[in-house]
């Protein structure tokens, strides 16, 4: 946690917050903070700054906060992801938030197992918790939006063309002939397949909607690896 993300319910006055639970444990055990220390904080979807520890007990920390810095710029990326296996999903969500992705679409695909959609990690609370962990890692405050589409064909035919409007549109697909572009740095929509890959029918439908198939070389990457590799190829955000 490189920044404590603050939510409306943490504020007890316009410039005071009380933190409990995970953030308190981190402040005490990992940061070893004491009264008077200043810690990086940020208000969700708002400014970042410092919080001065006013009091610290076993059950809560009270901080006086000054918020005057904007969060880092978001990536101009819409990530369209075939719903990953639950074990990987949490990590991919956190990584996506850490990388600055703000628009995430979870879609169905032939090789997405039906049971993946039952995972508790898709509940609003769990989505928020994992995206929060990703934002706190990066020192960012802007909460990504997550959209869930459990039917592939209606999504691709009825929604995707509008979503791609004004963007570069790519589908990462191993074995295709075009290498993934580098340094694109423009609004982009990127589709990433499931563990078993998109089927030829699905790739055809994504291409019909306007996506270009691109590859990352002969090595097949896990989705959790493909996401940061693709992002760092397409955007110079870390320069």
By CB under 6 A, residue 220 contacts ligand SAM = yes
Residues 170-199 that bind ligand SAM (CB under 6 A): 172-174, 192-193, 195-198
Q: 10 vs 202, which CB is nearer to ligand SAM?
A: 202
Beta strands in 70-211 (DSSP E): 77-82, 103-107, 145-149, 168-172, 188-192
Q: 1 vs 104, which CB is nearer to ligand SAM?
A: 104
Residues 191 and 47: their CA atoms lie apart, in Å, by 31
Task: Report which residue's Cβ sits closest to ligand SAM.
Answer: 197
Given a contact cutoff of 8 angstroms between Cβ atoms, the answer to whether 237 and 184 are in contact is: no
Q: 142 vs 173, which CB is nearer to ligand SAM?
A: 173
Sign of dihedral through CA atoms 75, 79, 83, 85? negative
Q: 6 vs 180, which CB is nearer to ligand SAM?
A: 180
* Position among 87, 150, 183, 222 found at the interface with ligand SAM (CB under 6 A): 222
Residues 129 and 94: their CA atoms lie apart, in Å, by 9
Residues 191 and 152: their CA atoms lie apart, in Å, by 12
Chain residues in the site for ligand SAM (CB under 6 A) = 172-174, 192-193, 195-198, 215-217, 219-223, 226
């Amino acid at each position: 946690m490189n920044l404590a993300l603050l939510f409306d319910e943490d504020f007890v006055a316009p410039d005071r917050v009380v933190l409990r639970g995970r953030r308190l444990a981190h402040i005490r055990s990992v940061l070893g903070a004491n009264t008077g220390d200043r810690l990086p904080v940020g208000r969700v979807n708002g400014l970042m700054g410092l919080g001065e520890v006013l009091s610290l007990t076993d059950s809560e920390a009270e901080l006086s906060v000054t918020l005057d810095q904007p969060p880092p710029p978001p990536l101009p990326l819409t990530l369209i992801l075939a719903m990953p296996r639950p074990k990987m999903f949490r990590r991919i969500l956190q990584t996506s938030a850490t990388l600055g992705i703000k628009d995430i679409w979870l879609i169905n695909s032939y090789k997405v197992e039906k049971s993946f959609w039952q995972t508790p990690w898709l509940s609003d609370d769990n989505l928020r918790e994992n995206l929060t962990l990703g934002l706190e890692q990066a020192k960012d405050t802007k909460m990504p939006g997550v959209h869930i589409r459990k039917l592939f064909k209606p999504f691709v035919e009825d929604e995707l063309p509008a979503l791609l409007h004004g963007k570069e549109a790519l589908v990462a697909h191993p074995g295709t002939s075009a290498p993934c572009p580098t340094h694109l740095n423009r609004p982009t929509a990127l589709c990433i397949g499931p563990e078993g890959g998109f089927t030829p029918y699905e790739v055809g439908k994504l291409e019909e909607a306007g996506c270009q198939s691109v590859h990352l070389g002969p090595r097949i990457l896990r989705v959790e690896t493909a996401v940061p590799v693709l992002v760092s190829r397409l955007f110079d955000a870390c320069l």
